[in-house]
């Protein structure tokens, strides 16, 4: 098996469960040393244990990405641990409240934007500064199909993910000549804790989510992770500023 990220250092936020955990495990499988980060300490440590079980080199650093001081400490801690930062995955995010635009509470709006958009930008800012020092790197952010099309009852989430896609494009252009590639993945419905908490209480909702996907099922987190690994590897060396749908055909409808 080709270890596509041998000798690289990777940072994955929101790695305590779901897509982030799958990405962190996949990076380790491909030979990267992995910094696992999450606000959920137990979840993050469980991911670290899973990576260590397969022989990977990893450490956990707790971080609330909505706080600039914690993000600075996260990137600094990554470099202190492993010497550099080659691949960053800005995956941490929250679903937020479901409500129509005219009824959406301001505090709920601020919370979603602070994590899903501002938090991703704070991470990107620090990652870019480190990558400039070392001569390059790759950044992949987890956006969503909600960053490409509208979704009812989720104005803050849709606004944040559209903003993240725009940020990805702008940043990619800013650093295209600095050997820093910046891309996003846009997953469809993925079977993660964010989804299963709701669907466990409503089989009708689960059926509706699967029916919304042209392939007739949800994605597994590992399927998104494979796209992230590819975008982070040399195989995607001429790709920057892309928002790649990994969505079972959702946005093609």
Tell me how far apart the 2 most distant CA atoms of the chain are, in Å: 52
If phi > 0 it is left, if psi is from -120 to 50 it is alpha, else beta; for residue 96 that is left
HSE at residue 30, side-chain half, CA atoms within 13 A, is 21
HSE at residue 225, side-chain half, CA atoms within 13 A, is 22
State the catalytic residue, choosing from 60, 157, 175, 250. 157
**Is 157 in the active site?**
yes
- The DSSP letter of residue 190 is B
Residue with tokens 């990893």: 58
Contacts of 252 (CB under 8 A, 6+ apart): 214, 245
- The DSSP letter of residue 177 is G
Query: Whole-angstrom Cα distance, residue 124 to residue 121?
Result: 5
> How many other CB atoms are there within 10 angstroms of residue 213's CB atom?
18
Rg (CA), the chain: 17
CA triple 189-194-195, angle to 5 deg? 45
The residues with which 183 forms a beta bridge, in sequence order, are 140
Q: Would you name the residues annotated as active-site residues?
A: 157
């Amino acid at each position: 098996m080709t270890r596509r990220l041998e000798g690289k250092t990777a940072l994955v936020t929101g790695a305590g469960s779901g897509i982030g955990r799958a990405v962190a495990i996949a990076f380790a499988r491909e030979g990267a040393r992995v910094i696992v980060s999450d606000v959920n300490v137990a979840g993050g440590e469980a991911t670290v244990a899973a990576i260590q079980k397969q022989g990977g080199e990893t450490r956990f650093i707790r971080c609330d990405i909505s706080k600039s001081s914690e993000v600075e400490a996260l990137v600094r801690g990554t470099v202190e641990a492993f010497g550099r930062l080659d691949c960053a995955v800005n995956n941490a995010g929250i679903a937020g409240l479901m409500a129509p635009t005219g009824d959406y509470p301001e505090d709920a709006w601020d919370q979603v934007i602070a994590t899903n958009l501002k938090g991703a930008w704070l991470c990107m800012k620090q990652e870019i500064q480190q990558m400039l020092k070392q001569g390059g790197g790759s950044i992949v952010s987890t956006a969503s199909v909600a960053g490409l099309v509208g979704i009812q009852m989720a104005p803050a989430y849709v606004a944040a993910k559209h903003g993240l896609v725009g940020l990805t494009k702008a940043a990619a252009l800013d650093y295209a000549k600095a050997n820093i590639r910046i891309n996003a993945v846009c997953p469809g419905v993925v079977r993660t804790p964010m989804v299963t908490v709701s669907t466990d209480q409503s089989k009708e909702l689960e059926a509706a989510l699967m029916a919304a996907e042209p392939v007739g099922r949800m994605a597994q987190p590992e399927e998104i992770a494979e796209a992230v690994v590819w975008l982070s590897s040399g195989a995607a060396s001429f790709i920057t500023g892309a928002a790649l749908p990994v969505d079972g055909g959702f946005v093609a409808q």
